[in-house]
Amino acid sequence: MLSEQTTDKLEIDRSKAAKMVMKLFDNWELHTEEATALLGLSKDNRTALSKYRKGDPISNSRDSLERLSHLFAIHKNLRLLYPQREVCYAWMKRRNGAFDGLTPVEVIDKYGFRGLLMVRSYLDRARGI
């Protein structure tokens, strides 16, 4: 059983993660529908995005936490592969031959969690991981 202090710490971390992922989406210049797709939410769930932007904690569900982990890993890979910020942040919305001409955002939207894994593993391989 988690102590009260441990539970509070988890709340703070999920709140910070919510703000961080919203900042990441801003840097990637995602529209609402794209951001909700990457988080596995319904495309019209603007309410969740505005709550996350204010710092409400991301859901404690396994799916939400794993999605965050993969999104942050994608970001890390991009920062290491493309040190130029403009290139790094534009990559998610650029068409890519490895994805049959789709953008990485479109891949995630089309294939859901599997698409998220496709994008991450593509970048992991590019880094030689």
DSSP 8-state assignment for residue 59: P
80 has pLDDT over 90? yes
Report the C-alpha gap between 17 and 40 in whole angstroms.
16
pLDDT score, position 6: 47
Asked if residues 44 and 51 have their Cβ atoms less than 8 Å apart, the reply is: no
In the chain, where are the structural domains located? 4-127
4 has pLDDT over 50? no
Residue 59 vs residues 23, 43, 54, 76: alpha-carbon distances, Å: 17, 17, 14, 22
Of 127, 84, 88, the C-alpha closest to 104 is 88
Is the pLDDT higher at 1 or at 30? 30
Q: Please state, as a whole number, how many other Cβ atoms lie within 10 Å of the Cβ of residue 39.
A: 24
12 has pLDDT over 80? no
Enter the pTM of the model: 0.87
